[in-house]
Chains A and B, each alone.
Chain A
Amino acid sequence: MTGSRRLLLLIGLTVALLLAGQVLLPGFLGPGQIANQLKIAAFLGLFGLCQTIVMAAGGQGLDLSVGATATFGGILGAALLPDVGNVFAGVAALAAGLLVGLVNGFGIAVLGVPPLVATLAVASVLDGALIVGVSVLHPGNAASAALVAIAGRGSFGVPNIVLVWAALGGVALWLLLRSAWGRRLCATGSNATTALLSGVDTTAVRAGAYALSGGLAALTGFLLTGYVGQAFLGLGNAYILTSIVAAAIGGVALAGGSAPYLGVVCAAIMMTVLVSVLTAIEVGESGRQIVFGLILLGFLVLDRRFARSAG
């Protein structure tokens, strides 16, 4: 499926879902509701960006540690907040996430561990370490007023977190689609040997992709702490599955080589609206899982059909 056709399909689906929501639950389309949906979509969209970057790097790229890394960022940031202030707590979370991502990147790009296994192993060690850290140190876990304002409040009717998402997303679109690094990333993902022979340091690019994913996941986890009010063990776990689904539906191929983040943005919004429609018709966790699975399969089949007719 070409990029623009996919965007149209995703936007069409979102509009259809919004209309269905309005029919089922009058008031679904109110400005407050839309802003709320975008707020929730922002977090999914940021976690989806993590997967976009590592999937673009190829080699069956995936980051199963986004959940643990986000929890780490949230817990560490919240623990530091009272002592160092908002900015440095955020920077510390970002740096810690970059470090976790570098460990992933080292295992994957240097040692050659498959991403699925490497990020899973790192996630289990990190989850274990967080249990120890929280049980031994009992760190403060409350979000500061400023963090709550950034993640949960709005300015002139637009949620602040959506502005953050727009800014980070804009940088990401430039980085992935326009910058030299983005071209190297996609070259590495589509054919690592060719990229290496044309002078790309594929090891550094791959490791960098995982570092970036880790940093972004931890920062998003820190922001998520502001949205929910406090950091806790398992904070980011819900996003492991959904971030991969958002990236795949958005058109990022597991084979690597492309990073169509605009599609992922649309997919994140579509999935968020879908969840609220499902909630409106009282479909629980089980129905949500089934619908997500089937939608992902549907998009995979569509991709396959279009790839075949194009080839």
Chain B
Amino acid sequence: MRAIRSALGRASLLPALAMLAVVVALNAWLQPHFFGRPSLESNIATFAPTILVCVAQAVVVLNRQLDLSVGAGVSLINCALAALPADLPGGGWSACVIGLALALALGAVNGALVAFLELPSLIATFATGAVWFGLALALMPQPGGAIAPGLGDLYGADWIGLPVPLLIVAAAMAVWVALGRHRIGRWIVAVGSSPGAAYQAGVPVRWATFGAYLTAWVLVFLSALTISAQTLSGDARLGQTYTLTSVAAVVIGGVSLGGGRGSPWGALLGALVLGIIANVIYFAGIPSIWQEFFKGLVIMAALGFMVSGQRRRVAA
């Protein structure tokens, strides 16, 4: 247990925090009233789906696995929500239950393939991602359908004085903190840090990996729910960019793809950095044809900065 705690302690969030400070400062400089409540509220509403999918990826990566199907999963859940009949009894709430059940089923498939059939996670989830995307396209060949309107209203509302998107992200992080206090969360990290040692110590390695996927897919569901509440329709290509964004955010957040090192908080910071970079590029008035290029360059620089920093720390 001490080893695990020190592994958590070593998860330095400083580089990601520094990057966040820089991009926030740039954004605040370029965008008047960035710190005003309307701007903060709209930003958190926009960033929430990305943050949630990045934290989901971090949970799997901490277990020394990957999930390249999260983006297609977001699309599939979104299309399923949009394909539900408008007169569904229970409205938004039953839509949530169905979406969560679907997410858990998808996560269970990925978890079973990786944990019990021992398939390499990168290529196995790449394959399931193709299946999820195909299913989403079958449900929604063209963008369309409608999300229960109650979900959109709820997403834009305040509760106990705080915007709902912020509360959803906070709840997701609380789930991780609660898991970390329970042995399941520690098992997930312990297996990622050293599967052999964890096995020797009596950790149920397979169930820990399966649990990591299930936990991640609860977050994938929340990501799909929050993006659906904004678009209010179904689109099989909606989550396409999420998979790779989530991997980039995880690396920028200092979570090692080698497993066991880092924390979902880092992924949250990474997702914020990526989101705010997009803001900065928009508000800097860069011509639209240059935006993709600059975004790519900044992400490449951030990745290089993180990875070379990690190598120095390992060498030291």
Report yes or no: A117 in contact with B127, Cβ–Cβ below 8 A.
no
Q: Do A120 and B294 form a contact, CB below 8 Å, given A113-B307, A289-B133? A: no
Report yes or no: B292 in contact with A127, Cβ–Cβ below 8 A.
yes
Q: For window 237-257 of chain A, which residues contact chain B by CB distance below 8 Å?
A: 241, 244-245, 248, 254-255
State whether the Cβ of B260 lies closer than 8 Å to any Cβ in chain A: no
What residues of A have a CB within 8 angstroms of the CB of B130 in the complex?
241, 245, 289-290, 292-293, 296
What residues of A have a CB within 8 angstroms of the CB of B152 in the complex?
none
Q: How far is the CA of A285 from the CA of B138 in the complex (A)?
A: 9
What residues of A have a CB within 8 angstroms of the CB of B90 in the complex?
none
State whether the Cβ of A287 lies closer than 8 Å to any Cβ in chain B: yes
Q: For window 105-157 of chain B, which residues contact chain A by CB distance below 8 Å?
A: 113, 117-120, 122-124, 126-131, 133-138, 141
State whether the Cβ of B311 lies closer than 8 Å to any Cβ in chain A: yes
Q: Do A124 and B247 form a contact, CB below 8 Å, given A289-B137, A293-B131? A: no
State whether the Cβ of B304 lies closer than 8 Å to any Cβ in chain A: yes
Q: Do A107 and B304 form a contact, CB below 8 Å, given A124-B296, A300-B127, A304-B117? A: yes
A-B contact count (CB 8 A): 131
What residues of A have a CB within 8 angstroms of the CB of B137 in the complex?
284-286, 289
Q: Do A286 and B134 form a contact, CB below 8 Å, given A131-B289, A135-B289, A300-B120? A: yes
What residues of A have a CB within 8 angstroms of the CB of B113 in the complex?
297
Report yes or no: B295 in contact with A111, Cβ–Cβ below 8 A.
no
Report yes or no: A290 in contact with B119, Cβ–Cβ below 8 A.
no
Set A128, A292, A301: member contacting B292, Cβ < 8 A? A128
State whether the Cβ of A294 lies closer than 8 Å to any Cβ in chain B: yes
Report yes or no: A113 in contact with B289, Cβ–Cβ below 8 A.
no
State whether the Cβ of A171 lies closer than 8 Å to any Cβ in chain B: no
Report yes or no: B296 in contact with A127, Cβ–Cβ below 8 A.
yes
State whether the Cβ of B7 lies closer than 8 Å to any Cβ in chain A: no
Q: At the interface, is chain A mostly helix, strand, loop or mixed?
A: helix
* Minimum CB distance partner of B113 in chain A: A297
0/1 per residue, A219-242, Cβ < 8 Å to B? 000000000000000000000010
Shortest Cβ gap from A81 to chain B (Å): 24
What residues of A have a CB within 8 angstroms of the CB of B307 in the complex?
111-113, 117
What residues of B have a CB within 8 angstroms of the CB of A117 in the complex?
247-248, 251, 257, 303, 307
State whether the Cβ of B290 lies closer than 8 Å to any Cβ in chain A: yes
Report yes or no: A297 in contact with B293, Cβ–Cβ below 8 A.
no
Shortest Cβ gap from B267 to chain A (Å): 14
Q: Do A254 and B133 form a contact, CB below 8 Å, given A124-B295, A300-B127? A: no
Report yes or no: B289 in contact with A300, Cβ–Cβ below 8 A.
no
Shortest Cβ gap from A257 to chain B (Å): 14
Q: How far is the CA of A296 from the CA of B134 in the complex (A)?
A: 14
State whether the Cβ of A25 lies closer than 8 Å to any Cβ in chain B: no
What residues of B have a CB within 8 angstroms of the CB of A126 in the complex?
296
Set A241, A254, A297: member contacting B122, Cβ < 8 A? A254
Report yes or no: A301 in contact with B300, Cβ–Cβ below 8 A.
no
Q: Do A131 and B117 form a contact, CB below 8 Å, given A112-B307, A248-B123, A290-B135? A: no
Q: What are 8 A-B pairs at a CB distance below 8 A?
A: A128-B297, A131-B293, A286-B236, A288-B134, A290-B135, A294-B127, A297-B124, A300-B119
Residues of A in contact with B (beta carbons under 8 Å apart): 60, 62, 64, 107, 111-114, 116-118, 120-122, 124-129, 131-132, 135-136, 241, 244-245, 248, 254-255, 284-294, 296-297, 300-301, 304
Q: A60-B122, A297-B124 are in contact. List 20 more A-B contacts (CB 8 A).
A: A64-B244, A113-B303, A117-B303, A117-B307, A121-B248, A121-B299, A122-B300, A124-B299, A128-B295, A132-B293, A245-B127, A254-B123, A255-B120, A289-B137, A291-B134, A293-B128, A294-B131, A300-B119, A304-B118, A304-B119
